[in-house]
Amino acid sequence: MSLALKIGLFLAVLFLALALGARFLERRLMYFPDTARFNPARTGLAGVEEVILGTPDGAEVIVWAGKAQPGQPTILYFHGNGGSLESRSERIRKYMARGYGVFMMSYRGFSGSSGAPSEAANVGDAKLAYDALVARGVDPAAIIVYGESLGSGVAVQVAAEKRVAGVILDAPYTSMFELAALHYPQLPRWMMRDRYETMNTIGKLTAPLLIVHGEEDDVVPVAMGRALFEAANAPKEIATLPGAGHGDHYLFGSYDKIFAWIERLRDGRVTRAAE
């Protein structure tokens, strides 16, 4: 075997190893599932049931569901890249205390759901969750899609295709590709499969939009939330919270902002972009 051929073979093997390594690392660095399965009652949530969504490829996805009071919307909630449904039980409790319904979907590999997460699986399952919510008798005109962090990239893809009353994006990113460039500049990104290109989708939304973002967010920079706001269609609003980071903006008044916006949306008073 010639030297040139040996070098070529070595480079090919090295390329393959880097490619496989990058694909393995991508999802290990993107998803941090808590696999434990809890019954909602164990967390003290009254009126919340576990729903199991069966997917076309045989997976089972766990959803926690609570019905809305008459005249109130239901929040179709897609969570962030870590934790579980149980770790977000306080959020469910706060929304239901206002009379809102909640339909919070876990991703594959999270909270007892089978399989492994990916963009294709998460978005496909999210659309199934929407369809399941409508099948349960919830009017699309009463559905507010909520995307938390990673879930913002899921939420926009659902809302771009389905009829909804409104969209709330909590600490949204322009794309996972750009976010990876920020946090992992040393790793190759050209083979990323799960890119969640939110900036490419935001312009397809026609429902009213609220973006909530902490101004000191060191995970998803507030500049990304502002860029998405600028690219979105009206009616749209953005609430950036001074001093708030990525997962603590509830300490800085975000619930008040969200509740006020939902009430105005419900009453038909969300009519123009925020100044």
Please state the domain extents for the chain.
3-266
Strand partners, 50: 64
Active site residues: 149, 217, 246
CA distance to 3, 7, 42, 151, 251, per residue, from 156 (Å): 52, 46, 32, 9, 26
d(CA 36, CA 86): 9
Query: What is the full per-residue pLDDT of the chain (275 aa) written as tens digits?
Result: 554 443 433 333 333 334 444 454 555 678 989 999 999 999 999 999 999 999 999 999 999 999 999 999 999 999 999 899 999 999 999 999 999 999 999 999 999 999 999 999 999 999 999 999 999 999 999 999 999 999 999 999 999 999 999 999 999 999 988 988 887 776 665 667 889 999 999 999 999 999 999 999 999 999 999 999 999 999 999 999 999 999 898 899 999 999 999 999 999 888 644 43
Question: What's the predicted TM-score (pTM) here?
Answer: 0.88
Structure tokens at 260: 């006020």
Look-up of token digits 């492994």? 116
What's the chain's Rg over C-alpha atoms? 20
Q: Which helix (H) or strand (E) holds 170?
A: strand 166-170
Pick among 1.10.10.10, 3.90.1170.50, 3.30.300.30, 3.40.50.1820: CATH of 3-266: 3.40.50.1820
